[in-house]
Chains A and B, each alone.
Chain A
């Protein structure tokens, strides 16, 4: 079956390219879309987690009498009194876990970080469980903890074992130190960013029950299949003995790529008590697992007299847990983005008594491009070259690290079109050059880059007697628009209106899909849906060709078209048969086809694949008070083919908002004495409010790319955030003449 995308095939108005409102939008805004914590079962029990107060040490005992005395409490699990669980680390591995020993909830008395679950209270009502949880006494023997990155920089190490799927720093190219020393113009900057938590609005919660030896779960996850595999491994089951359902996810940003501890606890208690158990975390407990790690970066850049890049060094040190070596690609971008012969990068970790960091929207790149693009701005300024011109002049048409050409790289168009739409050339290149009363106005920009990956995925397509089509794959939609993408791809191949297509996802019993992360889902699952619907189309054509007296007898597949709910002969479109009629003639209730899609390995070896962006930001900074207001943003994005301009725009806007938050607001405040974050709520952990967000103009530049994958799409989940924080910081410099190299740029850093 040939799955290549054929751009001449435009069978349904609802196919790719159409700004179709998201198909699950109505259910979401009317509250009828069920999230994990909305599901309930008869005789369900409720679990509430008790969290560790200390960051390191041992549990010496529990005082449970008061909690057990609360009427309605069924059971309290502690590390001293819990069902058997596997010890060996490999049983606890999940799909994206870094090297090390995955966390095992309630495993033993060791406290590895503050917030660690130390008891699970099960009761007949949620309120009862919560009440009793407050009365659980835990005795600890505290040991000195290490939580503040800056105090342990001397213990930084190169992670001995690489994290799968994450490229280590590239081999050095040329001699960066020497070229830097010999450069005509150079800058060095140290950039610091705090720990940031994903903080999706939907809290983590899981409902688990056992049915005839099968484990069933409603969970918040970015990968139902991955979660099922994890549970199967931990509980010693076959993968077909676990079903994970997660139809809607209320935001995740990477937090639901790994199973969180409430999932295991719910399943453990459900098996032990032979009852459905829901364990729901609280907002403060959302700060008891992964986050974007606090990271310190040092970037050195040198140019020759004409402003050509001669040397780049980029080093990063980030925190990780004591039990895993979390790694992300922070320093791997300079060598890709820019033409520079001398590049050296380094990446080190420091062990801290915190949970392991976890992929957070554009993991690595959001941090790395903050530092790199802020430094490039410093370099452009130091060498007297306009920042856009600097980037254009030093752009690379090859990935120099992999020494491969790009399937496409329309970054130049993004820079040019973004600059034009923004009015970049009207800005004052001199800091403090524009003011409006007390407000200093500044303009900054930055480039962004992210991967354009495709993973193997499968999908199923079923046409029913009523003419409705259902497509399914075990992927996830965390607000990304995946449901809509699936519908639109299917609409295209089978010539059906979107209203007659249902997409199903978030169910591990559906055909396998990769975790919904890395911005690869549109390319991966989209291709699988295209292949499944094409396989279905082939079957339908075969039925038509077998019909007695049919116009399709003897026709080949490439001689027919699926349009407006009909199968037609291309040469004689009036010779058509409705799909319902075909199905009736087949004698079946439904016709199903399943198919797989995978990246082309030969193409993967020949080409580098990336998505690019250029962010332009205008800020106003109150000269006296330091108050920063972002006044407008233009995000010009080169991401291949855009399947749905509406959901695509939403993805970029969401990324830009998060980037503004990274620049100005987000910060988990660590109290090093307590070893924990102290602003664990959305009142004090600041993400941007509406008032902080200006109009955002999103431009998708033309970037046809038949090579990148069969749909020609590159994915949009991450690219919106990459570079945004640097663009804001650069705009603040242009406004005030101040380089603030520590995020978030709060007003105290500007007065």
Chain B
């Protein structure tokens, strides 16, 4: 870790000005400080957002607005969020640990960086760290890498659980910069690596996330967040599935499907969702949806060090998560046995 300057933002305007001048925001610090210790992040100046008034949760008939500094723990425990948007609460609880969720914030979770092993090895070639250097992950240990949307320049995945639920729920990320406020659909917030993997998302370099908003529909009746990982808690997803259904008269009226751990962004597939409309909520229907989502999937290496298994695992997980949602037996995040 290298020396850095530190300032606490007194107001949003001050924060935006400092950010535009090159300061790096810090919220919970659970990701940024780790990366600084590994010499992966080398900010000159830290801009501490914690003095800003971005900790509110407002919830009404038309939806919810969650301040960027609301902690992952507070958000998951918020009674109305848990009641109206249980998919989000469940995804939050599937992430990290109690201690981390106490410190981690909504904005920081959106902005967290990949867990690609090599990204964290500051002395290896990585396009995300140093554009043009190459991607050492390709041909290496790729168990936790992408099966969808990867490019020859980067095969990393976005590791968040929360963001998978946000994508499924059609949330919006509210950003504010010198040009004012704008709303970015959650599923368009993160991006695919293409030939610019150094950019994780579409937030401007001069913008700050102030809030996340949720539409009225929370799919509280039929949802499940199913996370598969290498131990039952405190591990990033190998594959996770946010599944939500609206069922009318025994048929699917609306479906949402987003995957985590498989791509550089939460992977939402509207074609697969559309294919479910009008069908009965059967495993066969869900398998068809899974086939559509995974048709473009490509493996990076086989065996336990590769990720070929994730394609089949994702298929099985999609079917199960939808099945859990349909039966109203959402995956419990406290009893880890998969239902």
> Which chain A residues have a beta carbon within 8 Å of chain B's beta carbons?
53, 70, 127-128, 130-131, 134-135, 282, 284, 437-439, 620, 622, 624-627, 629, 664-665, 669-671, 673-674, 678-679, 681, 683-684, 686, 688-692, 742, 746-749, 751
Contact = CB atoms under 8 A, between A and B. Distances in A.
B232 A629 contact: yes
Given A669-B117, A751-B309, A686 B230 contact: yes
11 contacts: A134-B2, A620-B337, A622-B337, A625-B228, A625-B316, A627-B228, A684-B144, A688-B231, A689-B234, A689-B235, A691-B232
A127 B1 contact: yes
B180 interface: no
Contacts of A689: 97, 231-235
Given A625-B228, A669-B305, A751 B312 contact: yes
Interface string B299-315: 00000110001101100
B313 A625 contact: yes
Given A127-B1, A629-B232, A686-B235, A671 B140 contact: yes
Interface of B: 1-3, 37-39, 97, 115, 117-118, 120-121, 123-124, 136, 139-141, 143-144, 228, 230-236, 238, 304-305, 309-310, 312-313, 316-317, 319-320, 336-339
Nearest to A437: B339
A713 B117 CA distance: 45
Given A620-B337, A629-B337, A747-B238, A678 B232 contact: no
Contact of A627 (B39, B143, B338): B338
A678 B117 contact: yes
B313 A678 contact: no
The 6 A-B pairs with the shortest beta carbon distances in the complex, nearest first, are: A748-B309, A691-B233, A678-B117, A691-B232, A689-B233, A689-B234
A589 to B, nearest CB: 49
A109 B230 CA distance: 39
Contacts, number: 110
B339 A691 contact: no
Contacts of B235: 683, 686, 689
A623 B120 CA distance: 34
Contacts of B236: 683
Given A625-B338, A669-B143, A689-B231, A131 B117 contact: no
Contact of A748 (B313, B317, B320, B339): B313
A470 to B, nearest CB: 39
A686 B115 CA distance: 14
A622 B144 CA distance: 21
Contact of B337 (A439, A742, A746): A439
A130 to B, nearest CB: 5
A681 B304 CA distance: 19
A748 B233 CA distance: 17
Contact of A624 (B118, B139, B320): B320
A686 B238 contact: no
A674 B117 CA distance: 12
Interface on chain A toward B: helix, strand, loop, or mixed SS?
loop
Contacts of B97: 689
Contacts of B309: 748, 751
A749 B232 contact: no
Contact of B231 (A131, A282, A686, A742): A686
B136 A674 contact: yes
Contacts of A678: 117-118, 121, 140-141
Contacts of A749: 304
A751 B316 contact: yes
A671 B337 CA distance: 32
Nearest to A687: B231
A131 B304 contact: no
A746 B304 contact: yes
B23 to A, nearest CB: 19
Chain B CB count within 10 A is highest, among A284, A439, A679, A683, for A683
Nearest to B116: A678
Contacts of B141: 669-671, 678-679
A606 to B, nearest CB: 47
Contacts of A622: 337-338
A56 to B, nearest CB: 16
A452 to B, nearest CB: 33
Contact of A131 (B3, B136, B140, B310): B3
Given A629-B232, A681-B120, A692-B231, 6 more contacts: A131-B1, A620-B337, A674-B140, A678-B140, A746-B304, A751-B316
Given A131-B1, A751-B312, A751-B316, A690 B124 contact: no
B228 A747 contact: yes
Given A625-B313, A673-B139, A691-B336, A53 B37 contact: no
A679 B338 CA distance: 27
A664 B228 contact: no
Contacts of B140: 671, 673-674, 678
Contacts of B3: 70, 127-128, 131
B328 to A, nearest CB: 15
A121 to B, nearest CB: 13
A746 B229 CA distance: 9
A691 B229 CA distance: 12
A315 B74 CA distance: 55
Chain B CB count within 10 A is highest, among A128, A439, A692, for A692
Contacts of A747: 228, 230, 238, 313
Nearest to B319: A624
Given A437-B339, A625-B316, A674 B124 contact: yes
A689 B236 CA distance: 13
A688 B234 CA distance: 9
Contacts of B2: 131, 134-135
B39 A134 contact: yes
Given A131-B1, A625-B320, A689-B234, A679 B117 contact: yes
B228 A692 contact: no
Contacts of B136: 673-674
Chain A CB count within 10 A is highest, among B144, B305, B338, for B338
Contacts of B339: 437-438
A679 B97 CA distance: 19
A625 B317 contact: yes
A683 B320 CA distance: 27
Contacts of B230: 665, 686, 746-747
Nearest to B96: A683
Contacts of A70: 3
A117 to B, nearest CB: 15
Contacts of B39: 134
A664 B233 CA distance: 13
Nearest to A690: B233
A366 to B, nearest CB: 19
Given A624-B316, A679-B117, A742 B304 contact: yes
A201 B236 CA distance: 21
Contacts of B1: 127, 130-131, 134
Nearest to B140: A671
Contacts of A437: 339
Nearest to A679: B117
A437 B139 CA distance: 39
Contacts of A627: 228, 232, 337-338
A168 to B, nearest CB: 32
Contacts of A625: 228, 313, 316-317, 320, 338
A662 B235 CA distance: 16
Contact of B38 (A127, A284, A670, A674): A284
Nearest to B38: A284
